[in-house]
Amino acid sequence: MMKTITRRAVGRAGLAVATTSVLGMGAAPSWADDAAWAGGEANAKAIKQLYEAAKQAKQTQAVIYGGYSSIYKPLWEVFNQRFPGLAIVPTPLSGPQLVSKLDAEFASGRHEADVLMAGMTELLSNVAKDHAQPYRPPNAGALPERYVDPQNRFILQFADVFGIVYNTDKVPGADLPKKIADLLDAKHKGFIMDNPLAGGAIALCWIELTNSGMIDAKMMRGLRDNANVVPSITPYYANLTTGSVKMIPWGSFSRYLRLKEAGAQVGFQAVPGMVVPLYGGTAILKGAPNPLAAQLFQAWYITPEAQEALITKGYSYPLTPGVKTPEAWPNLKALVDALKPISPADYMSVRGKFEDTVRAALQ
């Protein structure tokens, strides 16, 4: 059930996205006239109340920390159109800068951030530090319960899929790996991956694959020996475009879509059991200077309007059921079902075990 995305498929996807855009996102007035944008009358009313409360409190912005806050920048225009007078302020902090800045704000009591938007590790790490202010949006029921922290400290709202991104001129479709073990073949030598201990894409993907029994210590060593291990994958998407890098086995689907849209000769292959969906979400931070605006934002992000915009403007998977992704996109549910689930409560301990395994295997 492997799914290779070709130029034609992407064309169809683009058409689907464009259609969605015209029928849905691009036509704000049609949303404005009814409550469909919020997923129903009750949600629309509750969210409108949050908006009014934020306005009354003169909270004109919500400051979001985290790398995703700038990735999803085009979505914030949609938010601003929906809620005039309220702006989202993205701050593209990640890694050590994000940790240090939040630690400094909590140590000093001088808070700037309202919301943290990040992947599972950063969300859970801040929850463990008691940085998150519990809040359950009025429309949280729209999401499956597994995406909402039982103590309402964070909500998962989006996902990206990590699979084989390759240069279509350099790697014929027939030569693509069909399973993880194929990456050990000499013909794939030199594929790009970051260090599994770096906390980057490989680490996050391998946590899921190790937990699902798809990859073991021996395989890790083999992959490392056949790969070109770099400090970070991000700069090398450009080399994938030029052809000096042929393949990134755990590359971002979202990046692939952007490259494809720009005309790059790239393809994406989703091999079940190898491809990994990674989740991201939001947490309202304690001491947030604009707590009502933050609550409004978190509620809006679950709405069909925001979740549609995640597809059309954020090139990411929404998690609210009923929001359809383009047919050319790999089916998220099938990819999720191929892996053993890790509950948020267990995630950090699973990650700890994974790091021990990697250290033993690679060092």
Partner 1 sequence: MSGLTQRADASAAGPTQAYRSADAIRDRWLTRGGMGLLLVVVAILFVWPVSMLLVGMFRSGPPGMPGVWTVETVIRVFTEEATYVALSNSLVYAVLCTAIATVLGAFFAFLATRSTVPLAGWLTPAMLLVFATPHVLYAVSWGLVADTGNGMLNLAARFLLGPQSTPFNAYTWTGLLTVHTLKLTAFCYLLLLPPFQSMNRSYEEASLIAGAGRFITFLRIDLPLLTPAIFGVVILGCVFGLGAFDLPQILGGLAGISVISTEVYRSLNYATPPDYAAASALGLFMMVALVLLLAMQWKLFGRNQFVTVTGKGYRSERWDLGPWGYACTFAIVAYIVVTLLLPGAQLVVTSFQPTLGVNAFTLHNYQAVFADPLTAQAFRVTGYLALLGGLIAVLLAAIVAYAGRHSPRWLEVLLDSVAVLPIIMPGVVLAVGLLLAYVSVPGLRLLYGTFWLALIGIVVFVTPIASRIVRGGIVQIAGDLEEAASVSGASRSRVLFDIVAPLLSRSLLVGWLVTAIIAAGTLDFPLLLLPPTTPNVSVLAYSYMNSGYPSQASALLVLLICAIVAVSLLYVLVAKAAKSERLVRLMRRAGSMGGLTNMSPGVRPQTGASI
Q: Point out which residues bind partner 1 (CB under 8 A).
A: 61, 63, 65, 67, 70-71, 73, 89-97, 99-101, 103-105, 107-110, 112-113, 121, 125, 195, 197-200, 228-232, 235-239, 241-245, 254-255, 258-259, 261-264
For residue 41, the minimal CB distance to partner 1 (Å) is 34
For residue 125, the minimal CB distance to partner 1 (Å) is 6
Would you say 67 or 326 has its CB closer to partner 1?
Answer: 67
- Residue 32's SS3 state is helix
For residue 362, the minimal CB distance to partner 1 (Å) is 12
For residue 91, the minimal CB distance to partner 1 (Å) is 4
Would you say 184 or 198 has its CB closer to partner 1?
Answer: 198
Are 263 and 225 in contact by the 8 Å Cβ rule? The answer is: no
Would you say 70 or 212 has its CB closer to partner 1?
Answer: 70
Would you say 7 or 324 has its CB closer to partner 1?
Answer: 7
Question: Distance (Å, rounded) from C-alpha 361 to C-alpha 363?
Answer: 6
Q: What does the CA dihedral 306, 307, 309, 311 come to, rounded to 10 degrees?
A: 170
The residue type of 109 is G
Give the chain's length.
363
For residue 54, the minimal CB distance to partner 1 (Å) is 17
Would you say 211 or 316 has its CB closer to partner 1?
Answer: 316
Radius of gyration of the chain (CA): 21
- What tokens appear for 27 in the block? 């036509």
Would you say 73 or 286 has its CB closer to partner 1?
Answer: 73
- Residue 4's SS3 state is strand
Q: What does the CA dihedral 167, 168, 173, 178 come to, rounded to 10 degrees?
A: 20
Of 101, 95, 91, nearest in space to 71 by CA: 91
User: Alpha carbon of 122 to those of 2, 95, 132, 173, 262: distances in Å?
Assistant: 31, 9, 11, 36, 31
Strands (E), 150-256: 155-167, 191-194, 227-230, 247-252
Kind of pairing between the strands at 61-65 and 317-318? unpaired
Question: Distance (Å, rounded) from C-alpha 109 to C-alpha 125?
Answer: 19
* Residue 31 CB-half CA count within 13 A: 24
For residue 236, the minimal CB distance to partner 1 (Å) is 7
- What tokens appear for 42 in the block? 């009750």
Would you say 89 or 332 has its CB closer to partner 1?
Answer: 89
For residue 243, the minimal CB distance to partner 1 (Å) is 3
For residue 183, the minimal CB distance to partner 1 (Å) is 18
For residue 253, the minimal CB distance to partner 1 (Å) is 12
Would you say 93 or 271 has its CB closer to partner 1?
Answer: 93
Would you say 25 or 63 has its CB closer to partner 1?
Answer: 63
Of 197, 188, 280, 272, nearest in space to 1 by CA: 272
- Residue 329's SS3 state is coil
Count the neighbouring beta carbons within 10 Å of the beta carbon of residue 151.
Answer: 11
